[in-house]
Amino acid sequence: MAHLIEVAFKGNRREFFLWNGDAPPPLRTPVIVEADRGEDLGTVHAVGDLAALRAKGCTHGLGNATASQQARRLAQTDDVRRLQELRAQDDDARRIAIELVRAQALEMKITDAEWRWDRRKLTFYFTAEKRIDFRALVRDLAGKFRARIELKQIGVRDEAKRLDGIGRCGRQYCSAAFLTELRPISLGLAKIQKLSLNPTQISGTCGRLMCCLRFEHDWYVETRRRFPKEGKPVMTAMGEEKVVVNDLFRERVTLRRMSDGELRTIPLTQLDKELRGEPIEIDIEPEATGPESWSDELLSMTDTVERPIPRDLRPARSAAAKPAERPARPAVPKPQDRPVRLTKAPRRDDPSRASQQPAAAPPAAATPKAAAPKAQAPKAQAPVAPNAPNAPRTPDAPDAADRSENSSGRNRRRRGRRGGRRGGQGPSGGSST
């Protein structure tokens, strides 16, 4: 009876074969299978119903067709050792191919090389932005390795799948682990999941958008159908509120009350009940803050310390036990609030200033004139101009003739002093008269 088995090769390459026997071989068992013009060695990846399911749904599957190639026998120890020696030679073949590509100036990147188990075929995998004419390269490689040469162009996602590795999430690449089909991914998937649109944060090792954006998209679409739309006003038990944020993973909804803008976060089940008008029971679990929640170790450490009674466990005071309220204290104005009194500085001729200031001791050799302070006469009113008509003549106010005589005398004395100075500055230092 023929059993369908799935065999894995280097670089996550998998194919389906028929196994003739009473029972399929165990998983991870090396087997020798048929290949194009030869034989190859791989390990069993899936058998039975799982292999039949994967053959219909995988990209490398058979679909509705049946497998035509067969698995011949189980591999021996020498067969496995020979395969390990060939895998050590794959890197040398890849380096030689890279040197030939540089010599011919071809715009292509050699990703990997794989020897077949019977050493009759050597396959090179490369990536390129456009179609490459590599016929001359194939002739040079065939003359170098003396085997059949096959060059396969793959995409950057297939390159990451073949080389395998650890993603930014800390797990194996999804394309190399379990994805059966590498479907195209657009930026709209990241917008629906409300992720950052920074390319460095949503891109994988291959430089394209991460594969998890595609296979997680269906879960986001199905889950969002259970939540109200963000920004939509709803009528709840608290009144009219607006949906702010939906937490899909914790199944919580954040609402903002339209009247006062207060925020609250409630479970999705509670929101559904409020929208349907059903009664809501809010269970508030009291926090364990009393002495019964203290551990024995803490009690032993605080035996000598007075334990404060929690506020929620203190006995309520009655109205009679409350102390009388103290009268409110008058508000004391701050320094900057107090009024500032501005005083005018007294004049020098003010007689009251002399009485306020302490009298200074007179000097030892003081003259009678300096010792006796001059009496200040009271300030008289503003005199009337003498030339004004009907002005009364007073003895203290001289007339115009007296003022002219006094001024002429002062002018003569000034001219005399000037002449004396000019005479004293002559060459002989004497008078000129």
CATH (domain of 248): 2.30.30
* pLDDT > 70: percent of the chain: 64
Nearest residue to 224 (alpha-carbon basis) of 241, 189, 203, 249 = 249
Percent of residues, the chain, with pLDDT higher than 90: 19
| Per-residue model confidence (pLDDT) at position 213 | 84
Let me know whether 46 and 88 are in one domain: no
33 falls within a domain: yes
Shared domain check, 69 and 97: no
Q: What DSSP designation does 201 have?
A: H
Query: Last residue of some domain: 119, 154, 189?
Result: 154
pLDDT value of position 186: 83
Whether residue 178 sits in one domain with residue 150? no
Are residues 91 and 149 both part of a single domain? Answer: yes
- Report the relative pairing of strands 70-74 and 14-20 from DSSP bridges: parallel
Domain match, 39 and 100 both? no
Residue 133 domain-assigned?
yes
**In-domain check, residue 427:** no
Region 223-235 average pLDDT? 89
Q: pLDDT tens-digit profile of 60-89?
A: 777 777 888 888 899 999 999 999 999 989
Lowest-confidence region among 25-29, 264-268, 376-380: 376-380
Q: Of 98-102, 343-347, 423-427, which gets the smallest average pLDDT?
A: 423-427
Same domain, 4 and 71: yes
Has residue 102 been placed in a domain? yes
Over residues 387-410, mean pLDDT? 52
**pLDDT band (50, 70, 90) for residue 41:** very high
Shared domain for 95 and 118, answered yes or no, is yes
pLDDT over 60 (residue 58): yes
* Alpha carbon distance 390, 384 (integer Å): 10
The answer to the question of residue 21 being in a domain is: yes
- Higher-scoring residue by pLDDT: 142, 374: 142
Q: Looking at residue 254, what is its pLDDT?
A: 93
What is the predicted pLDDT for the residue at 312?
57
pLDDT of residue 130 exceeding 90: no
Find the helix packing angle between 135-145 and 77-103, rounded to 10°.
140
Q: Are residues 128 and 95 in the same domain?
A: yes
Pair (195, 131) in one structural domain:
no
- Asked if residue 232 belongs to a domain, the reply is yes
Residues 174 and 214: their CA atoms lie apart, in Å, by 11
> For 268-289, what is each residue's pLDDT tens digit?
989 888 888 877 665 444 444 4
**pLDDT value at position 413?**
67
Antiparallel, parallel or unpaired: β 252-257 and 263-267: antiparallel
Structure token pair of residue 236 = 């709840």
- Grouping H, G, I as helix, E, B as strand and the rest as coil, residue 80 is helix
pLDDT at 102 over 60: yes
Segment 143-193, tens digit of pLDDT = 999 899 999 988 888 888 888 888 888 888 888 877 777 778 888 888 888
Residue 355 lies in a domain: no
Cross-strand pairs, 35: 38
> What's the pLDDT tens digit per position in 305-363?
444 555 655 555 555 555 555 666 666 555 555 555 555 555 555 555 544 555 444 54
Give residue 12's pLDDT. 84
CATH classification at residue 142:
3.30.300
Cα distance between the two ends of the chain: 165
Total number of domains constituting the chain: 4
The predicted structure's pLDDT at residue 371? 44
* 91 assigned to some structural domain: yes
Sheet holding 239-247, edge to edge: 233-236, 239-247, 252-257, 263-267
- What length is written for the chain? 433
Contact 113, 122 (CB under 8 A): yes
**What was the pLDDT predicted at 101?**
92
Query: Strand 70-74 to strand 109-115: parallel, antiparallel, or no bridges (unpaired)?
Result: unpaired
Provide the domain limits for residue 92: 80-154
Assign 253 a pLDDT band (cuts: 50, 70, 90).
very high
At residue 365, the pLDDT reads: 45
| Residue 380 token pair | 């008289």
Instruction: Give 242's contacts (C-beta < 8 A, 6+ positions apart).
Output: 231, 232, 233, 234, 255, 256, 258
Side-chain-facing half-sphere of 64: CA atoms under 13 Å: 0
332 or 387, higher pLDDT:
332
pLDDT of residue 339: 56
End of a domain among 56, 75, 94? 75
pLDDT, residue 391, reads 47
Domain end call among 52, 75, 98: 75
Q: Are residues 69 and 84 in the same domain?
A: no
Residue 256 — pLDDT band, cuts 50, 70, 90? very high
One domain, residues 60 and 124: no
Same domain, 5 and 67: yes
Q: What angle do CA 416, 417, 423 make, to 5 degrees?
A: 90
Q: What is the pTM of this model?
A: 0.54
**Is the model's pLDDT at 293 over the cut of 90?**
no
